[in-house]
Amino acid sequence: AMRHLPYFCRGEVVKGFGRGSKELGIPTANFSEQVVESFPSDIPTGIYYGWACVGNGDVHKMVLSIGWNPFYKNIKKSV
């Protein structure tokens, strides 16, 4: 039961692993570990859609990945 959806979050965008744009051809933005750890525990890992903006900029459609990226064998959850 995902009782927290829709879920609203905000946080600093931090440098990721450097793979999204280079290897996948998709620009990415990553939340800090503190923001990831603050997500409700009942939101399962997976791919979600929603809306995002940076600062007071325009709102854009986005896709959000919550998980460990098993392809890259990550051990920390990322968003």
Q: What tens digit of pLDDT does each residue of 30-39 get?
A: 899 899 988 8
Predicted confidence at residue 2, as pLDDT, reads: 64
Predicted confidence at residue 51, as pLDDT, reads: 93
25 within some domain: yes
Residue 15 and residue 50: Cα distance in Å, rounded? 21
Q: Which CATH number belongs to the domain containing residue 52 in this structure? A: 2.40.30.30
Q: Could you tell me the pLDDT band of residue 77, with boundaries at 50, 70 and 90?
A: confident
Amino acid symbol at 49: Y
pLDDT surpassing 80 at residue 20: no
Where b means 16+ CB within 10 Å and e means fewer, 46-79 reads: eebeeebeeeeeeeeeeeeebeeeeeeeeeeebb
What's the mean pLDDT in 47-61? 90
26 within some domain: yes
Domain hosting residue 44, numbered range: 13-78
Number of domains in the chain: 1
Whether the CB-CB separation of 21 and 27 falls below 8 Å is answered with yes
67 within some domain: yes
What's the mean pLDDT in 52-60? 90
5 within some domain: no
6 within some domain: no
